[in-house]
Structures are given as structure tokens and as C-alpha cells.
Amino acid sequence: MHDFDQAFVEFQAARQAWQAAENWLAGFEVALKAGDAARIAALFHQDSHWHDILAFTWHVTPVQGSDAIAARLVGEQARTGAHDFHIPAGRKPPRNVTRLGIESIEAIFEFKTAIGRGAGILRLSPAADANNELKAWLISTTLESLDGHEEKLGSMRPTGAAYSRNFGGDNWADVRRKANAYEDRDPTVLVIGGAQAGLSIAARLNQLGVDTLVVEKWARIGDSWRKRYHSLALHNSIHLNHLPYMEFPPTWPKYIPKDMLGNWFEFYADAMEINCWTDTEFVGGTWDENARRWTATLKRGDGTERVLHPRHLVFANGVSSYPLMPDVPGLNDFNGEVIHSEGFDSGAGWEGKNAFILGTGSSANDIALDLYSHGVKTTLIQRGSTTVVSIDPSARLNEAIWDEGGPLEDCDLVVSASTPPLTLKAYKAVVQRMLQLDKDMIEGLKGIGFKHDIGEDETGHQMKYFRRGGGYNLDAGSSALMIKGELGLLQYDRIERFSAEGALLKDGTTVPADLIVLATGYYPQAELVRRALGEEMAERIGPVWGIGPDGELNNMYKRTPQQGVWFIAGGLAQCRINSKYLALQIKAMELGKLAPL
């Protein structure tokens, strides 16, 4: 086929996809306005999915099945007032794609509600039981903005009149110093943690006009990354890791080194005018039910305390909290050095020594590579089965949506559209491809007695991350060294106990060691809540992270059972995407448009 002919065929296909999506949305809006559940249900495949993020339900809500979707939409429409569904200009146009093995028309659409504007994803495919009529097997509806309170971007950017050419008065630096001092006011929102989660939500809240203070226990913004082990770099690609409003420079490497990232965080906080107190630790808080605000105690680096009264606390301190130090028989008898992986910096200074690493997750394997590169005889001790995935190509399979290109916000919208059952289905399919790509590595590991798994339901490392925050290794080269015997592997069940010299095995022999690194993970985030807010509050809030009964993450990015407590965590992409939705909820609550649970 000639290039012209091919271009014409593609043009016709794109035109047909656009028309099909417009027709479906028109029929959907008519049925929705009429409150006709039967007509709405008829527009969907029987096995279909709806993912609502705030637009209709003010929650993160998955619904499955045409009848259930129709009933819920009709039930929510009277309050929501959704209308003006249309295909917008300037976004990815409707197109033919294959998702989860289904050849589909995928379209980004926008709409209005009684209080704001929304966007969503629509996927259509022929229904064999309806003369191949195009019906929806997925729709998502996401609140994007609140009317009259849109983000101050582009043409809506601040004028700068408060300090521009303000001769004899405060300039920008003066305004920033005063804003950051909080000498005459309390912040509306106190964000605990100044890494990707805290910076993302603070940047979003700033753009919505919500007064926000970030507190960071380290001396500098970015130290939470700088202080990690010497060789650390991100394990996923740069193009999906941008923070809100400001993308990384196009000159940067594909996998960002930790110090580079830490420096960017510090620069980002300044550029986005985020109020930050470093060398400041949140030590506790109590909720005043009458005043509907917190009494939050902060400990500054100079030993002084400051008490603030924000209406919202946002815990942005990561998926985990405090280092988990396991009770290992005989470890107290060991004469060498014992450190948790959080405190490990580099293998420098341990040349020619023997080291154990207790654990076989990503941190354990990265530390093993660092020690090995410094001439340390290193052995990993495996306690439980581990999922091992090559960084490239296998782990990159989960970057597929962003690899398609196009505006970042459009890719993010596609990623957010999936309901939990579809996410599980997608991960299962990806895992099967990973097993093919990593076949030699996995077989080699099993050949040396390594315990390998692909998750409890064959969903691989991604669902392990969401369910427990660990249990996998994104392999940077340690597996090949283990298979060749250049890195040691010792199964924990062969160890009787640790001793002064190292590990006493059940056969009576001793494996010597000078250093033991405990790559044993962390307490869940709920432990930080318990220590900071008390047992009763932790019980009221319930689990944080992990998968809840609805298949969504527990208490993340949404209202919790305790008014004024919010959580945000995850990788950079997760924080960028979900900070928008969390900020909208806080703003809506401040405006009186959203009530506590």
C-alpha cells in the first residue's frame, strides 16, 4: 500500500472512531438526563466497568456490570448534574487500540457537573449479541476542577501585582519569607514529609489557594533520597516520573540517580513556592472536635517546639514508616556490625570483608551489588519467596501507557481509568510476558535454590507492592552474579542461629561475617499514625495502604474515617496523579461542598 493510501485509511479509521465515540456519548447523555437506567444499561456490555474518581460519588468508586453501573449513575445524577459530554479538541483523539486483548475504540471525553469539570476514558467494542453494535466495556469519570477555583495556570497565572515594581515595599523574596514563617497565622494544611508525595500535594494545594506547610525531618528537602545508599537510582523511566506542573529536563538520564532527584526536589520546592520547614519533625497531634482542627506539635532542629492548628494533616511520609528490626536468634551475640538497610550508605571501607544481607528484595540486591563492587564477599540470606523481574525489559512493560506518548495528563487519565478487576487482569497478562522475557534468569535462580514466585494470584511484583510494599526485586544485575556464584545465597532455614563469628548453620558449620545488613523492610504507615496520634485514632482510621474490600488502596488519596487526616504515598507517577484528586477533596471540604465521611 502506498503512503498516501495508508494515510487515507488511517484518516478514515480515526474519523470513524471519533464519530462512534461522539454518537455513544450523545446517547449516554440523553439516557442519563432522563434517568433511564434501562437505556443506560443497554449502552454497556453486560460485563463492563465504571471507575469514578470524585465526579459522581466524591470517592474512588469501582462498579462492575451494566445493570449496577446504570443504577449507580442514575442514583448519583440528581446531585451531580453531569452534562455536556463531548470529545475535546487538543487532547488525544479517539483511536483504535487493543486493551487487555480487546480491539476497541478508546476516547478521551470531557463533561461538566453542577460544581466543576470532569474528564474520562471510554472504550467501545462490538457486541456479538447485538448485531455488533458498539457498546462500552469501560468508562471512567474523573473530577478535574471546581468551578471558580481552577488551578492558577497559563492565562490564569498570578499577576504578581503584590510585589511587582513595589518600590519601597516587599519584593517577592520578602513575601516568601513572611509566608513561610507562619508568624501571624496557622496553615490550613500541614503536610508531613517533603519527598515526592509531600511536594506533589503541596504544589497542587498551592494552585487551589489552600495555605499549606510541609515539614521535613531532614536538614534539606531531598535528603530523604540523598541519604539513601550510595548507588541508588530510580528503577523506572524518567518519562513517567515527572512532578506536577514541571517536567524533568530532556537532557536528564533515563534512570535518575538519587542525588540528582534530591536536588530536583529542593529546586522544585523553591520554584513552586512551597512553604517548607526542614529539620522539623511532627511529634504528635490531637483533634479538637468542637473547633474542627488539630493541635499539632512540631520539634525544630534547635530543640524548640512549635504548636500549630491546621484543619488537615496529610501524611506524606511514604508507603512505610519506621525500620523493622526483626527478632533474629543470636543476632545480639554477633561481634560485627549490624545495620538496617535504611542506614547503609556504601561498601567503601569493607573491602576484603564478609557481609550478610538479610533479605532478597530490591534494596537487598542493590546493596549486595554495591558491596560486591567494593570487593566485599557478600551473601544474601533468603527468608521467603521473592518475585524477581528484570528492570529492562520486563519492568518497563508496566510503563506501556506512557510509552505511547502524547500529553502526560492524557496518559495519566488512561492509567487512572482501570478498575481493580481490570488492573488484576492486566498484571496477570504482563506477568506471563515477563516470564518469557526473564526465563533464563528465573531458571538460573531456581537452579541455585532461590525461592521464586509470581505473586499469590500470578499478578507479580506490582500487586505485591500495593498489598505489602515489598517482596520483590527489580533486578539490576545481582541475579546473574548469584547464578555464577559471585554473590552468595543462603536460605534462612539452614541457619540455627547467629553467633559471634557469623551464622551457625544447622549442620554445625559457621559461615563467617563482619557485617550484617538487615534489608527487612519497614512497619506499615499505620504505625506512624499510632505513635503520632495514639492507639485510639489509629484504630479509628484503620489500615493504610494495602488492598481494601473494594479492591482500592486502603485510606489513600481519599477521605478517611477521621476528619482532617489524609494519606498520600507511592512512586512519583502515583503521587503526581493522585495529588490532584486529594487536593480537590481538601479544597471542596474547605468550600463546604464536601462533608467528612
- pLDDT tens by residue, 369-399: 999 999 999 999 999 999 999 999 999 999 9
**pLDDT given for residue 459 in this prediction:** 97
Using the predicted structure, report yes or no on whether residue 16 has a pLDDT greater than 90.
yes
Q: How far is 103 from 101, CA to CA, in rounded Å? A: 7
pLDDT for 335 equals 96
The answer on pLDDT for 419 being more than 80 is yes
Q: Return the axis-axis angle of helices 196-207 and 572-590, rounded to nearest 10°.
A: 40
Average pLDDT rounded to a whole number, residues 508-528 = 92
CB atoms within 10 A of CB 160: 11
Question: How far apart are alpha carbons 513 and 330 in whole angstroms?
Answer: 13
**Which pLDDT band, with edges at 50, 70 and 90, does 528 fall under?**
confident
The answer to whether residues 355 and 421 touch, using CB atoms and an 8 Å cutoff, is no
pLDDT higher than threshold 70 for residue 124:
yes
pLDDT band of residue 526 (cuts 50, 70, 90) is: confident
Give the pLDDT confidence score for residue 6 in this predicted structure: 66
Q: For residue 319, what pLDDT band results from cuts at 50, 70 and 90?
A: confident
Q: Strand, coil or helix: what is 41? A: helix
Query: What Rg do the C-alpha atoms of the chain give, in angstroms?
Result: 26
Residue 205: is its pLDDT beyond 90? yes
- DSSP letters, 195-232, are SHHHHHHHHHHHHTT--EEEE-SSSSTTHHHHTS-TT-
Give the model's confidence band at 9: pLDDT under 50 very low, under 70 low, under 90 confident, else very high.
low
Position 10 pLDDT exceeds 90: no
Q: What is the mean pLDDT of residues 92-102?
A: 95
Residue 7: per-residue pLDDT: 66
Extended strands (E) in 513-563: 515-518, 522-524
Task: Write out pLDDT tens, residues 396-409.
Answer: 999 999 999 999 99
Cell numbers for 544, please give them.
493504610
* Residue showing cell 455488533: 132
Please count the other Cβ atoms lying within 10 Å of the Cβ belonging to residue 178: 12
Q: In which element (H, E) is residue 364 found?
A: helix 362-373
| Least confident stretch, 249-263, 514-528, 568-582 | 514-528
Q: Torsion angle of alpha carbons 180, 219, 371, 321, nearest 10°?
A: -70
Distances (CA, A) of 479 to 62, 186, 362, 384, 452: 38, 51, 11, 16, 12
- Terminus-to-terminus CA distance in the chain, angstroms? 59
Identify each DSSP E strand in 54-171 by its residue range.
60-64, 83-86, 95-99, 102-112, 116-127, 133-146
What amino acid is encoded at 569 in this protein? A
What's the rounded Cα separation, in Å, for the pair 467 and 552?
A: 10
The string of pLDDT tens digits covering residues 213-261 is 999 999 999 999 999 888 889 999 999 999 999 999 999 999 999 999 9
**Res. 43: pLDDT tops 70:** yes
- Provide the 10 A C-beta neighbour count for residue 410: 18
- CATH architecture label of 3-146: Roll (3.10)
Please tell me the predicted confidence (pLDDT) of residue 389.
97
- pLDDT for 229 equals 85
Local confidence band at 454 (pLDDT 50, 70, 90 cut-offs): very high
Which residue would you say has higher pLDDT here, 161 or 185? 185
Q: Where in the chain is CATH 3.50.50.60?
A: 176-321+523-590, 325-520
pLDDT band at 4 (very low <50, low <70, confident <90, very high): low
Q: Using pLDDT thresholds of 50, 70 and 90, give the confidence band for residue 525.
A: confident
Q: Which residue has 528503577 as its cell numbers?
A: 235
- According to CATH, where is 3.10.450.50 located in the chain? 3-146
Residue range 176-321+523-590 in CATH 3.50.50.60: yes
Decide which of 496 and 1 is more confident.
Answer: 496
pLDDT at 158: 83
| Residue whose C-alpha cell reads 541455585 in the numeric block | 448
Average confidence (pLDDT) over 562-580:
97
Structural contact between residues 250 and 223, judged by C-beta atoms closer than 8 angstroms = no
Residues 6+ apart with CB under 8 A from 110: 84, 85, 86, 87, 88, 91, 117, 118, 119, 120, 144
pLDDT at residue 234, as a whole number:
92
- Cell 520486563, residue located: 394
Compute the average pLDDT of residues 114-127.
97
Look up residue 297 and give its three cell numbers. Answer: 506539635
Q: Please state, in angstroms and rounded to a whole number, the distance separating the CA atoms of residues 236 and 594.
A: 36
Q: How far is CA 559 from the centre of its chain?
A: 17
- pLDDT at residue 535, rounded to an integer: 95
Where is pLDDT greater, at 320 or 573? 573
Please tell me the distance from the alpha carbon of residue 377 to that of residue 39, in angstroms, as a whole number: 69
Residue 445: helix, strand or coil by DSSP? helix
Give the pLDDT of residue 8. Answer: 60
Cell numbers at residue 303, please?
Answer: 530543640
Fold that domain 325-520 belongs to in CATH: FAD/NAD(P)-binding domain (3.50.50)
Q: Of residues 247 and 527, which shows the higher confidence score?
A: 247
pLDDT at 506 over 70: yes
